[in-house]
Each structure stands twice: as C-alpha cells, then as structure tokens.
A = this chain, B = another copy of it.
C-alpha cells in the first residue's frame, strides 16, 4: 500500500492545501517550515463557515440547530467550570466530563459560526484546566475487563473525550498563545495518545465498535496537533497490515448488507465516530476515497441502520437496547446529514430529518437543511416509509438475516414487522432467534422489553446493566417467541449461541396484498427444528394490515411450548374463561420464568381470542395450535425482583404440549379509543377465527375467517424451495397445491342480513 506518495501537506511549505482542491475549499493544517504551525478547524473550511453563518437566525433546520446548540452551550457556560476527579460510573464526575467535551465541541464550532469570542474562551479555559490537572489524576481502579483511563473508569469514554475535545481545540487553536497550546498538547493530548497507542496498544485499533471511537479520537487528535502519523495509524492500523485500524474495521465490522451484529442500538453508537472520522478522512486523506471505499460501505451501513427504524424513528430494541433510542440520537443526525451530502437525498431521508428536526452543524447538514427547505416549500414532508428489507448477517452475508417488512394502511399508517433470524449479538445478544416485534399506529404492539438498565442513573447500579438483564431481559421467554421446556435458547450460553444462526427461507415484499418472511432455526434447542413464517395481509374489510404468524416446531418426544406475546395496555375481553389467582407465584424457577408472576390462566377451546386496548388502539389476537390442549397464561413481570429493577409489564402465553406442533395466530389492529374525548369505535375486531387445516414437512395450511371473508394461506416448509417449487399437501382426502413459497386465497363470504 503506497499511501504516502499522494500525501501532499507534509511536503508543502506554507502552501495551504486549500489550493489543491477545486470544488470545495478545504482548510487544512499548514506548516511554517518545521517550527510554526497553526491548527485549523478539522471539519470546516472558511467558506463553509461563512455559509453556515448565513443560517444564523433563520427558521431552516440548520438555523434551528444553531440556535438550539447556542441555548445548550449558553446554559452550560453559566455553570462554573469544573474538572472533577474520579467518581462512580454514571455519577456526577462521569457525566461532567461528558458534558464538558460535548459542550466544548459545540462551543468550538459555534465560535467559528457566530464569531463570538465567549465560545472560544470557554473552550480555552476548560482545556487549560484539563491540561493542568490531567496528569495529576491517577488511572481509575480497574473494575471490569475494560482498561481504565485517568478521567473515566473505561477508556472508551476517554476516547470520546479526546475526539470531541480535539475537534474543539482545532476550532480555537489559532486564537491561543503558543504557551496555551503547548500546555494542552504536552500535558493532555500527547499523554492521551501515548496511553491509547502505547500503554493500551493491544486494545487500540481492534475490530470492534469501541475500536472506531479509539481510531477516530487518535486520528483526529493527531491532525489537531499536527502529528499526522497518528492519523495514519488510525486509518491503516498500528501494524499497517489490514488487521486493525479504521479501514479494516469498516471492512469487517458490518455484514455485506451493512447490518451490525449487535443491533441498531450499538450500531447507532458506532455510527457516530464512523461518520465523523469518515468525513475527516475524506477531507484530510482524500486518496482513500473513503465514501467509495469497499463499494461505499459507509453509505451502505448508514442506510442499513436507518432502514431498521420504526416509522416514528425509534429503533427496534434488538439485543441489549433501550426502547427509546431513535434517529434523533446525535450520531444518527450526523449520519443522516453525511448520507445526504455524500450518497444523495430521497423522501425517506427528508422524512427522517423531519423527525430529527435538526441537522449536523456542518456543511453536510447544510445540504440536508437546504433540500428540506426547498421540499417543504413544495409539499408537506411525510414521515419515512422505508421499503421492506432483509439485512443479511455475517462476513459473507450467510449467517442468517434480520427481516424488516412494512405495509401502509389506507390512512397511510405504517405497520412494521421485524423478525430476527440472524446471528446472536455476542455479549449483548438476546436469546431470541425467530423472535418478532410488530408496530403500528405509532406504537410497538408486540413488544421488546429492551435492556434492563437505566443508563447514567447513578443510584441504579451506576447506570450499568442490572443483574436482571441477564436473568430476564436476555432470556427467550422475555421475547415474542416460543420457549421450549422453560429453557432458554442455547441454554443461555453466549459462546454456543454465537456459533449458530438462523436460516432464511424466504423474504417477499413485492405484493401489495401479502408480504412475508420465513426462516428456520434448527440449532437453538437440542434436536429441535423450528420454523417461523410471518406475514402482513392486506384484507379489504380490515382497517390495518393483519399479522399472520405460523410457528412450527419439529421435536423429538413431547415438550412444553410457551408461545409468548408481550403487549401493553388493558385486557378488554377474551373468548374463553380464565381464572385470576388469589395468590401469585412465579411462573417458573429459572431462565426468566422466575421473574414472571402467573396472574391468570384459562383453557382455550379452538382459537383463543384476547382483545386489549393500548392507548388509542384496540388489538385482537386469535391463536391456536395443532395440539389439543392449549392454555392461555397471563403474566406480569416483577417476581424475584428485590431491587425493583424490572418494569411491571404484562404478557400472555399460549402454552401447549406436543411433539411436532404448529402454532398459528393473527393479530388485528382496529378501532379507536380516546379517554379524554370519551370516544370508542370498533372495540371488537372483524376477524372471527383462525383454524389450522393441517401441516407437514411440505407445507402448512391455515384458514382465517373474518366477518366478510374466508382467507386461506398455504406456506412452504421445504428448505431450499424457490419461487416456482411445486408444493402439494394431502389433508383428510383433500389435496392442496401451490407453487412457490406461499399462496393466498380470499373468498367473499355471504353476508347475513
């Protein structure tokens, strides 16, 4: 690799690199011989700053962003400066250092944009205190496997600190005296660089989402102090042999689809330094052609991340994740702005900007802001409606996938169905292969619990993961999946889980009448094959897309199956009798069951119906299995929870026992309830029944009866089938046949008068 050859700045003398570019006048670190050097803003050129300045006071997204950032920084600047010593993770000290770097970065850029000296002064004053104190702080005591820093209990946070503070420094360095700069460089930045690249060299540029923060911090700081060698080792790795560094990371961290195996929550965290550093590399190492690198892996992975989001911008809480992390996260704001500039705009990007109501305070953000302004003048911006997408997993895309299907109802409301049939998410992985979530009318209907953690809430175990994250949130029973014999998938063994993955069967979203996906998971319970096929059906008389779910299990011997549905809201009615218990006991003893109160249960004749009300929407679920003995169990989290670490949330489980078994259910969203205005319409659903006509190794056949229609769905159970494979199933002397993965037939029923 011969990257040095085209690297110009080091060889130029007093010639600003600006002159070498035509379209955009990038400012760059320049040299005055070998002695004097003035650090220039790393992310902004003079002409770009001027263009941002024009937005001040305007009602554009950029104008609003600048104003919001001013308010934030002004409020923070009213507090006394503080560089505290060691504290608890999530405690005051931890948060203060985070606030310090966040506000320094904003203030540095606001100084450039507004030309108000107070912002520069704030950065310089705070950096001076850090420079004075930094080396007086010892390293934190090691508490877990992460190396510790002098400011933070883990160097990940110290990486973040360095990245943002270096950017801030680059904005104000030209206004500092030589003495001031020297103090910051020698007592703060260089010791940090030393720590990251020498003391903790083993951990520096590895292929991990945390590694991106490390290389971005080191590369950016290197530029800020005119030590370009740090940029180079960040981009190409310490050993410069493709085993580490930014280029290796972005080549290897993501699947070909762009999906990141830990899930969107961690992906959006990685995307922050990823996009920032990509922009830096673009500006300061143009020879890499970073935005086209590896077929545009940066744009690809940003697109993959965005395409997972629910219609309101929240990310499905796959693996360890909060339920509220959304595209409004700062890192995703940067990603959306960067994507707009370097990969192009479309209606979904504009829709996301609408949700974000802000842009990156950078020329990339200005591109989006301008486009948004123009589009708004022409028409109302809609919320995003991303097409369905199957995101493959693994280095070659062959380790299963995550499926995301969307369908709009007549009012434009988007239903989204998510199924996990990919990899286990390593240490943050949940044991929920074939788990689904379902979203419509602005809320998750079949819900993920998310992680068990209150991030940064110091009295809640320092904001760290709580014990119940393992004992409940990651267990199979906490998810919308089937738990067999009250055991967790892969016995809650991370290593075993990481070694297997789901097997995609089909993913089809072309039709406007039916969209569906199906996958197998044969390595998650001993000697057990599982297949889940989920669909959204567009049926004329229904208000919203109907969720159809076929969950097939091929086991040896008789087992207990718990088909769990995590909902929220109030039970409205059922079609079966149940017994509410006068005393509550936990549903089981281990694998998450110990945390579920058994609240009520009943026996189901044929299809069991449960209607509940979640805020403004009614939902009716009808479910059955091919076994005779079905029971419905209503549960609520909270048992064995000595520190109130669990949220109290309801679920219902269809429990069945059998050998090979097919579960089938539908979920209808209907009606409207408004407590404030005391309105209620269509509190009862239109779907009357679901029946399993039969199933075997070739296919499964179910019938749904609505008030107006008889709907028959036949689904392929044949691994290796394709769009044309003929299927034939004999049931009670009747032969059903179809070609391809599934067949949908809708008959209008005679209406009673």
Please provide the chain A residues from 443 to 477 with a CB less than 8 Å away from any CB of chain B in the complex: 454-460, 463
Interface pairs (25), CB distance under 8 Å: A324-B676, A454-B570, A454-B613, A454-B673, A454-B675, A455-B675, A456-B679, A457-B673, A458-B683, A458-B684, A459-B611, A459-B683, A460-B572, A460-B683, A571-B644, A580-B641, A580-B642, A582-B585, A582-B586, A584-B585, A599-B638, A600-B644, A636-B648, A648-B648, A648-B650
Interchain nearest-CB distance for A752 vs B (Å): 16
Given contact pairs A586-B582, A677-B329, A683 touches B613 in the complex (Cβ within 8 A): no
Interchain nearest-CB distance for A100 vs B (Å): 14
For residue A680, which residues in chain B have a CB less than 8 angstroms away from its CB?
90, 95, 454-458, 463
Given contact pairs A650-B648, A676-B322, A582 touches B455 in the complex (Cβ within 8 A): no
For residue A573, which residues in chain B have a CB less than 8 angstroms away from its CB?
459-460
Residue A433 is within 8 A (CB to CB) of chain B in the complex: no
Decide: A678 and B641 in contact? CB cutoff 8 A.
Answer: no
Instruction: Give Cα A647–Cα B570 distance, bound, in whole angstroms.
Output: 7
Decide: B580 and A95 in contact? CB cutoff 8 A.
Answer: no
**Of B322, B582, B634, the contact of A640 (CB 8 Å cutoff):** B582
Q: How many residues of chain A are within 8 Å of chain B by beta carbon? A: 54
Decide: A326 and B676 in contact? CB cutoff 8 A.
Answer: yes
Decide: B644 and A570 in contact? CB cutoff 8 A.
Answer: yes
Residue A639 is within 8 A (CB to CB) of chain B in the complex: yes
For residue A638, which residues in chain B have a CB less than 8 angstroms away from its CB?
599, 636
Residue A597 is within 8 A (CB to CB) of chain B in the complex: yes
Residue A705 is within 8 A (CB to CB) of chain B in the complex: no
Residue A328 is within 8 A (CB to CB) of chain B in the complex: yes
Residue A198 is within 8 A (CB to CB) of chain B in the complex: no
Instruction: Give Cα A454–Cα B679 distance, bound, in whole angstroms.
Output: 10
For residue A676, which residues in chain B have a CB less than 8 angstroms away from its CB?
322, 324-326, 328-329
Residue A583 is within 8 A (CB to CB) of chain B in the complex: yes
Instruction: Give Cα A326–Cα B639 distance, bound, in whole angstroms.
Output: 36
Instruction: Give Cα A468–Cα B606 distance, bound, in whole angstroms.
Output: 31
Decide: B678 and A459 in contact? CB cutoff 8 A.
Answer: no
Instruction: Give Cα A454–Cα B675 distance, bound, in whole angstroms.
Output: 7
Given contact pairs A322-B676, A459-B611, A681 touches B583 in the complex (Cβ within 8 A): no
For residue A600, which residues in chain B have a CB less than 8 angstroms away from its CB?
644
Binding site for B on A (CB under 8 A): 90, 95, 322-326, 328-329, 454-460, 463, 570-573, 580, 582-586, 597, 599-600, 611, 613, 634, 636, 638-644, 647-648, 650, 673, 675-681, 683-684
Instruction: Give Cα A642–Cα B602 distance, bound, in whole angstroms.
Output: 12
Instruction: Give Cα A613–Cα B650 distance, bound, in whole angstroms.
Output: 20
Decide: B457 and A683 in contact? CB cutoff 8 A.
Answer: yes
Output the nearest chain B residue to A674 by Cβ-Cβ distance: B324
Interchain nearest-CB distance for A466 vs B (Å): 11
Decide: B322 and A675 in contact? CB cutoff 8 A.
Answer: yes
For residue A322, which residues in chain B have a CB less than 8 angstroms away from its CB?
675-676, 678
Instruction: Give Cα A454–Cα B460 distance, bound, in whole angstroms.
Output: 36
Instruction: Give Cα A328–Cα B677 distance, bound, in whole angstroms.
Output: 8
For residue A90, which residues in chain B have a CB less than 8 angstroms away from its CB?
680
Output the nearest chain B residue to A678 by Cβ-Cβ distance: B455
Given contact pairs A676-B324, A678-B322, A459 touches B572 in the complex (Cβ within 8 A): yes
Instruction: List 17 additional contacts besides A455-B675, A459-B684; criterion CB under 8 Å.
Output: A325-B676, A326-B676, A328-B677, A329-B677, A455-B678, A456-B678, A456-B680, A457-B572, A457-B680, A458-B683, A459-B573, A460-B572, A463-B680, A570-B644, A580-B642, A580-B644, A600-B644
For residue A456, which residues in chain B have a CB less than 8 angstroms away from its CB?
678-680
Instruction: Give Cα A650–Cα B636 distance, bound, in whole angstroms.
Output: 13
Decide: B583 and A585 in contact? CB cutoff 8 A.
Answer: yes
Interface centre among A322, A454, A641 (most CB of B within 10 A): A454
Interchain nearest-CB distance for A59 vs B (Å): 16
Q: 5 smallest A-B Cβ distances: which pairs? A: A571-B644, A584-B584, A456-B680, A324-B676, A455-B678
Instruction: Give Cα A643–Cα B570 distance, bound, in whole angstroms.
Output: 10
Instruction: Give Cα A677–Cα B613 distance, bound, in whole angstroms.
Output: 29
Output the nearest chain B residue to A634 by Cβ-Cβ distance: B644
Instruction: Give Cα A675–Cα B454 distance, bound, in whole angstroms.
Output: 7
For residue A582, which residues in chain B have a CB less than 8 angstroms away from its CB?
585-586, 639-640
Instruction: Give Cα A679–Cα B599 distance, bound, in whole angstroms.
Output: 35
Output the nearest chain B residue to A671 by Cβ-Cβ distance: B457
Output the nearest chain B residue to A463 by Cβ-Cβ distance: B680
Interchain nearest-CB distance for A314 vs B (Å): 8
Decide: A583 and B580 in contact? CB cutoff 8 A.
Answer: no
Decide: B455 and A640 in contact? CB cutoff 8 A.
Answer: no
Output the nearest chain B residue to A90 by Cβ-Cβ distance: B680
Decide: A640 and B675 in contact? CB cutoff 8 A.
Answer: no
For residue A643, which residues in chain B have a CB less than 8 angstroms away from its CB?
571
Interchain nearest-CB distance for A84 vs B (Å): 14
For residue A648, which residues in chain B have a CB less than 8 angstroms away from its CB?
636, 648, 650
Output the nearest chain B residue to A611 by Cβ-Cβ distance: B459
Instruction: Give Cα A328–Cα B678 distance, bound, in whole angstroms.
Output: 12
Instruction: Give Cα A570–Cα B649 distance, bound, in whole angstroms.
Output: 12
Interchain nearest-CB distance for A688 vs B (Å): 15
Output the nearest chain B residue to A675 by Cβ-Cβ distance: B324
Instruction: Give Cα A329–Cα B463 distance, bound, in whole angstroms.
Output: 41
Interchain nearest-CB distance for A355 vs B (Å): 12
For residue A584, which residues in chain B have a CB less than 8 angstroms away from its CB?
583-585, 597
Instruction: Give Cα A634–Cα B648 distance, bound, in whole angstroms.
Output: 13
For residue A599, which residues in chain B have a CB less than 8 angstroms away from its CB?
638
Interface centre among A326, A329, A586, A638 (most CB of B within 10 A): A638
For residue A463, which residues in chain B have a CB less than 8 angstroms away from its CB?
680
Instruction: Give Cα A585–Cα B638 distance, bound, in whole angstroms.
Output: 14
For residue A326, which residues in chain B have a CB less than 8 angstroms away from its CB?
676
Interchain nearest-CB distance for A645 vs B (Å): 8
Instruction: Give Cα A580–Cα B646 distance, bound, in whole angstroms.
Output: 13
Instruction: Give Cα A45–Cα B675 distance, bound, in whole angstroms.
Output: 35
Output the nearest chain B residue to A682 by Cβ-Cβ distance: B92
Instruction: Give Cα A181–Cα B323 distance, bound, in whole angstroms.
Output: 59
Interchain nearest-CB distance for A106 vs B (Å): 14
For residue A613, which residues in chain B have a CB less than 8 angstroms away from its CB?
454, 457
For residue A640, which residues in chain B have a CB less than 8 angstroms away from its CB?
580, 582
Instruction: Give Cα A455–Cα B679 distance, bound, in whole angstroms.
Output: 7
